[in-house]
Structure 1
């Protein structure tokens, strides 16, 4: 991982995959560090295991909006104007402090501009402040300070509990403060909590979402996946305190902080570099989360493109259906990670509101009360019952973990490689990892599909390949998948590859991924890419079979 970013290696999963050909595989991931009496009287604040109903915007999270605020949200943000404003390079968490010095969460995953949300904060300090940073480019500073609170009284909130049926960690924290987002532009935000006297800092992520996306490229924060990997309180969707798969949570909630040193979940490594690049380009952008897309059938209507970022594994059937409908209506789609759309989830309410619980029983789906009531099984999309492999949408399919391999260019004349100077056979060390996808026509695969990179890998002794691929559909939409989880992270690779930062990715990998992503975003922002850049099927040429 890049220099200066706290990281750790932890075991994530020892799991029997549901369906035929079940097998156990251990997954290891590099993940980033990815209120009671205090609330009284505050009011609103100013200022290699191989995997075998629509609501009005004003109803989507409470709080409501004044008519002029709704109109402003529909107009969207001028990214060029926003990023011309002065940035603030001091946004980082630099003094994490002890584990429970300060931490918190928002009671909404996203809000429309002008909507309020509640902060639930626990701290050992007598007072703390909140600083809201909008994440973007800002001349390289990557953030702009939009709002800062007055000093607020701190309180140590009660200990969490663990649900006996699902092992879901629950907090019962009271609201510490209400934050008004008036004059906050759409975008992705990190709220930094600063305990008095330098005792500790933590982030709380929140998205100020777009009310409409027509004509814009939609950045979708993969919040369900952030939460699945969150082990705050000792439990996540992969294991419990003893590290065993059998003790994992069967449901996880947004009603808790994110684990690790900075509290930002998976945002800073798997999403922030792409957001900075897109905002630097100045293309029209819109912002949403995976839960927003799942909830609102019409959210992606008319969008130029929709982006799935670096680690976007957990999808609801509704989210998948809405992505598919957008593609079939001419919206381009980019998958900038790997292992995307792999787990089928169900979103349920928590004590604090709708869609704040991520249910995923995996191989124990038959124990799920929701499944018994007729809901789809929360098991891998490709697994029975009702198997629906992700390749029908993505073009590629998840093939395994773990790998660390060079990325090998096989189609250098493709428009996505324009300006890179690459030749056939050029390779980029460490760019394939830690999970990877490939084109496999044994699964449903849209055609024509064009393979751009075909990289040999060996996954737990099994030879295979990673593929980057591009396909087009009759609506004119183009779909591109990188086939590697390290793509977004590589956008920040500037070193010589010997320091260990970013898994050893070097400046060549950074330059390649940056130029390809720039080409992708510019073409996708212009409208249905298949009309100007139709895919030329080359599966037989690459694999020797069609």
Structure 2
């Protein structure tokens, strides 16, 4: 497969719609059918239901400060609220909005910009986590606020960037809000519509903690609100795509949560259920704050984390080289090189990615790095030097095949060599390819045959260790986080047909990973044993 095809350039509309369907399915907790061949679309469902208590806000945690600054166990002992989901989306544009900050520190305010056809609306802030299976806790609810239909958006002629310029509807104070990942639910008066607005209450420091990173740049790249995203425009063609997208607009999908519910919420629930000491941040914060990861036990890239700035990559690499473990719980990670610029509402609110048109980028002409794929010229720097694996293709739907069952990550799974888990490889996948820069020693845990648009290949799950002691793990499949919620026999078609066996396997492996990575540099206790030659063979392995 040639480079242009692998990158998705030229087939952006299909790829973007693929993920749009995934998010819509998650919002309604109903999956679509599994991908057929290489022409399907990625879908997913996040199981948000569970036991809950009163829909009224519960009081502040009795114990917020622990040895790491925030006590996840104490927070998740609070009563949860099972009725947090968007269940009445209503007509298009009935109510929608966005926050003027992607993240805030606890106690910092942010503005909400809301457009609605209803005369009044309320805002309910849910902290997402485990909460006994409810997956959310209502932390704050507004009084009824006046609703207005905000002006139509405009489109910049040069970059095809959608701009809203909406007035601020209200200011939200976050006093007594614990750190974490939040969904703010907008409810139009009279049940006319509901939508989410995501925001992160980020951690000021991460020392001794496992860092959950919301992949907000990728959420925005796949957002097509206003008719344009980073893959296509109203015509559906790649040439009409936005060259820069902004956070100053709602998320297009039915629930408004971006890609959070599909690719991140299941992992967050598992980590909080385990009581792992966690910190919370976003990709834009990692790019901005050079020392944010100092002393962190581990950093987690979740299910779809494709768009990275050079600064973010440099900061994660530096953390790895200082002994911080890195987990890539998806595929196609760190693939697109972006630049963050200001919008009218503040810094780092515009994601610039010209891709194959990088020579037209005024920033590139001023000396900024080309916003093209990391592996591509100029200044090619393949993602494998950090991840160990490299993106290999899209779309696939294939069984996941265990090849190294004795590895510590498979402990307690009962997995045997050759065990196969249908549909767990998809929709994008990575592999170990020593034709690109590949850290050694590296162990391949799963080596799954795939066929991508007629091209035979393999998906790999891999683990490598570094001189600093850091361990780096990559699942090599985008469905890993979604699979954490897989149940039943898969015949319903939910979660791509993933069944409870896949859910059990991915959950146990992820538990082993989180506990070991939280304990410190994993390479010191679990050094990798290189097996590339035995898996792939050949003199270059």
Give the structure-2-normalised TM-score.
0.90
Please name the residue that 1:487 is paired with.
480
Alignment correspondent of 1:392: 385
1:356-386 CA distance string (max 9 Å, x none): 0000000000000000000000000000000
- Map residues 113-262 of structure 1 onto 2, 5 A cutoff: 113-262=106-255
How far is the alpha carbon of 1:402 from its aligned partner? 0.6
Aligned to 1:430: 423
The answer to whether the Cα contact below 8 Å between 2:10 and 2:238 also exists between their aligned partners in 1 is no
| Count of residue pairs the alignment pairs up | 497
Is residue 2:77 matched to residue 1:90?
A: no
For the 8 Å contact 2:402–2:415, the answer to whether it is kept is yes
Q: Which residue of 2 aligns with 1:39?
A: none
- Do 2:10 and 2:237's aligned partners in 1 also have CA atoms closer than 8 Å? no
Shift of 1:283: 1.0
Q: Deviations for 1:240-264, whole angstroms, at most 9, x for unmatched residues? A: 0110000000000000000011000
2:379 equivalent to 1:381:
no
2:418 match: secondary structure: coil
Q: Is the 8 A contact 2:9 2:238 kept in 1?
A: no
Question: Cα 1:23–1:238, aligned 2, differ >3 Å: closer, same or farther?
Answer: closer
CA distance in 2, matches of 1:452, 1:108: 40
Q: How does 1:464-543 map to 2 (within 5 A)?
A: 464-543=457-536
Give, in whole Å, the separation in 1 of the partners of 2:363 and 2:67.
Answer: 36
CA displacement 1:268-325 (0-9 Å, x = unmatched)? 0100000000000001000000000000000000000000000000000000000000
After the TM superposition, which residues 4-153 of structure 1 pair with which residues of structure 2 at under 5 Å, given as runs? 17=4, 25=11, 27-28=14-15, 29-31=18-20, 32-33=22-23, 76-153=69-146
Is the 1:232–1:257 Cα contact (8 Å) retained in structure 2? yes
> How many Å separate the matches in 2 of 1:98 and 1:380?
37
The match for 1:343 is 336
Once residues 23 and 139 of structure 2 are traced to their aligned partners in structure 1, the CA distance between those partners, rounded to angstroms, is 23
Helix, strand or coil for the counterpart of 2:303?
coil
Aligned to 2:267: 274
Secondary structure of the 1:252 match is: strand
Which residue number in structure 1 is paired with residue 298 of structure 2?
305
CA–CA separation in structure 2 for the residues paired with 1:97 and 1:204 = 16
In 1, distance between residues paired with 2:270 and 2:261?
13
> Which range moved further: 528-537 or 75-84?
75-84
Out of 420, 440, 449, the position equivalent to 1:456 is 449
Q: Residue 473 of structure 2 aligns to a residue in which SS?
A: strand
Cα shift at 1:73 = 11
Post-superposition shift, 1:25? Answer: 5.0
SS in 1 for 2:469: coil
Normalised TM-score (structure 1): 0.89
C-alpha displacement of 1:22: 11
SS of aligned partner of 1:17:
helix
Q: CA RMSD in A?
A: 1.8
Q: Which runs of 4+ in 1 moved over 4 A?
A: 21-27, 71-75
Distance in 1 separating the partners of 2:5 and 2:485: 37
Q: 1:413 to 1:75 in 2, by over 3 A?
A: closer
Q: 1:334 to 1:22 in 2, by over 3 A?
A: closer
CA distance in 1, matches of 2:68, 2:501: 39
Q: In structure 2, how many angstroms separate the alpha carbons of the residues matched to 1:87 and 1:271?
A: 19
Q: Deviations over 1:221-257 (max 9, x none)?
A: 0000000000000000000011000000000000000
Within a 5 Å distance, the mapping from 1:407-422 to structure 2 comes to: 407-422=400-415
Q: 2:513 & 2:125 partners in 1: Cα distance?
A: 30
1:365-376 equivalent positions in 2, closer than 5 A: 365-376=358-369
Q: Which runs of 5+ in 2 are unaligned?
A: 25-37, 40-63
Deviations 1:501-537 (A, max 9, x none): 0000000000000000000000000000000000000
